[in-house]
Every structure is written in C-alpha cells, then in structure tokens.
Amino acid sequence: MVLIITLVLSLIFVPWPWNVFVISVALVYELATMIFGIGYSRRRRPQVGVQTMVGAEAQAITALEPTGQVKVDGEIWEARAPEGARAGERVRIKRVDGLTLEVEPASRS
C-alpha cells in the first residue's frame, strides 16, 4: 500500500532523479514489512479448541456441589468439582469432558 501511494505521488510531485530514490526506499520498506510480517505470523501455531481452556481460571457462578456453572472469558459453562466450590470462588480448569468442565479450586494447583 505504501509503495503504491509513494509511486503515484513521487511520479507526480518529485523531480526525475529523486523519484527513483523515493520509490526504491518505499520498495525496500514494503519488502521488509512483508518479510517481518510473514516471519512473525509463523512463530508459533495458533491454539484453538478446548485445549486452550485447560489450566485457565474461571469463576463459579453457582455453588459447585459437585456440579454447577462457571464463567470463563464471559461464557457460562457447566462444571463439575469433586471437592466442591462456593459461588464466587476462583477455580482452575483441569480437563474438558464434552460440554462439562472438570475444575478444582484455584488455590490447589
């Protein structure tokens, strides 16, 4: 995008020897940005699905005795806590079983 704008503006407003220099600088900038962007985007694989939830913290909306509801990143999920948890308590997600999260109190890592 920068290259196209620079090309048009330099061909119209910049005199002959300088417009080639300005276009060259814009081309180098555009190539460096592209190479850096591709390298940055390939640094690590994106995580998707339920495996991203394991280890995350949630807040119990209802008392978990042993089942109830928790809120994770603004979403409400069914949860099961064998040890139990009070409403409002922070819990850590141990695993995902279908649409039910198995959790434990956050203080017990």
CA–CA separation, 88 vs 69, rounded Å?
11
Chain centroid, CA 74 distance in Å: 15
CA–CA separation, 109 vs 107, rounded Å?
6
Q: Cβ-count burial of 38 within 10 angstroms (0-12 exposed, 13-18 middle, 19+ buried)?
A: exposed
Per-residue pLDDT tens digits for 58-97: 999 999 999 999 999 999 999 999 999 999 999 999 999 9
What pLDDT shows up at residue 48? 80
Average per-residue pLDDT in the chain?
91
pTM of the model: 0.57
